[in-house]
Amino acid sequence: QAKLTGRNQYHFFDSHLDEEVRTHHNQRTEVRHALVNGELRLHYQPKVNMRTGAVVGMEALLRWQHGQRGLLSPAQFLPLVEQTDLIIDIGEWVLRQALWQMQRWSAAGRQWVVSVNIAARHFQQPDFVLRLKTILGEFPGVRASMLEIEILESSALHDVEHVRRIIRACQALGITFALDDFGTGYSSMSYLKRLPADIIKIDQSFVHNMLNDRDDLHLVRAVIGLARSFRLTVIAEGVESIAHGERLIELGCDLAQGYVIARPMPADLVQGWADNFVAPKQWRAASYAEDQ
Ligand code: C2E
Ligand code: MG
Ligand code: MG
Ligand code: MG
């Protein structure tokens, strides 16, 4: 290479860095092959109303069925590609796969709202909304109002005005918007006012510790209060025990997702799961205590 800059030269001659760069490059190539070769999968995790037991929707969660390493979770491969355009191709695959699945469920009489996670780099593309509209058009059996988009609260903070316009444009199509991992992105009240989301998802780390950590309990309560005053829907993630659910219901949060309800599962198991799901009786008996 004739045109090496000083910095690249450094990389070029430092064998350790060079190797690291090469490894990352190879790993990204592997992820691209996974996409092209059809090794990516979506699993679905139900969202339920704990008091009524109603299934309100599903979250689509990405997996990689790796030839040698088995089923990989997003944390094992998405960080490698989140800063590259590959995340856009993966995101569009996820959208199509989820819409296709919704169309099948819908034909079977299951009108489940499905949410997909979209990376910051993807939804901030100038043509994101236009391409989304095109993709939606490929699935005439699905109404846009059945699609929900989850973005990380933290990813919305860096250019609030731009994100606000994207959310508005998606809502104009009928799509709902959720702020994921809420509470971890240091959102202030004024941000929430400027981000016209429909749904807040309380981050699982706060939910996880809320029964033994006062600070996390206060945080969960504050987020629920915030959601109520902004008239947003609030859902708790990472609900792992019946006791967590009872406490959340007392605090005014009825919607939940978590292992005590169901783990993420392949699409073909979802209908059977839904036919058999009954909310724990403690949840059906619990109610919102106004004087918390
Ligand atoms: P997330 O969107 O906040 O999804 C919730 C994560 O918590 C999922 O992990 C889910 O399996 C896990 N979870 C659900 N219930 C419980 C519980 O009761 N206890 C515990 N400990 N965990 C629970 P997963 O599937 O490994 O996904 C991790 C993250 O990867 C997601 O967090 C999301 O940010 C990202 N992700 C997943 N799928 C996609 C995708 O298609 N595209 C993009 N860009 N990101 C994705
Ligand atoms: Mg999510
Ligand atoms: Mg989350
Ligand atoms: Mg998360």
Task: Give the pLDDT of residue 157.
Answer: 76
- Ligand 1: residues with CB < 6 A are 45, 61-62, 73-75, 78, 91, 94, 117-119, 150, 180-181, 204, 237-240, 257-259, 264
Question: Does ipTM surpass 0.95 in this model?
Answer: yes
33-37, 80-84, 110-114, 286-290: range with lowest mean pLDDT = 286-290
Q: Specify the higher pLDDT residue, 68 or 156.
A: 68
Q: Return the exposure string of 192-207: e unless at least 16 CB atoms fall within 10 Å of the residue's CB, then b.
A: beebebbbbbbbbebb
Least confident of 39-53, 151-165, 201-215: 151-165
Q: Which ligand 1 atom minimizes the distance to the CA of 264? A: 11
Confidence band (pLDDT; 50, 70, 90) for 72? very high
* Model confidence at 288: pLDDT above 90: no
Mean pLDDT score of the chain:
91
| Bridge partners of residue 265, in order along the sequence | 44
Closest CA to ligand 1's atom 43: 117
Whether the CB-CB separation of 234 and 253 falls below 8 Å is answered with yes
The pTM is what?
0.93
The tens digit of pLDDT for each residue in 266-285 reads 999 999 999 999 999 999 98
- The angle, 0 to 180 degrees and rounded to 10, between the axes of the packed helices 128-137 and 86-107 is 30
Q: Which stretches within the chain are classed as H helix? A: 6-13, 15-36, 78-81, 86-107, 120-123, 128-137, 153-156, 160-173, 189-194, 204-209, 214-229, 242-251, 267-276, 281-285
Higher pLDDT pick, 257 / 191: 257
Q: Which ligand is nearest to the CA of 181?
A: 3
Q: What is the pLDDT of residue 290?
A: 62
What are phi and psi for residue 127, nearest 5 degrees?
A: -100, 20
Take residue 48 and report the two structure tokens written for it.
Answer: 């339920």
Say whether pLDDT at 109 is over 50.
Answer: yes
Ligand nearest to the CA of 207: 1
Bridge partners for 5 per DSSP: none
Ligand 3 center from residue 206 Cα (angstroms): 11
pLDDT in the model for residue 3: 45
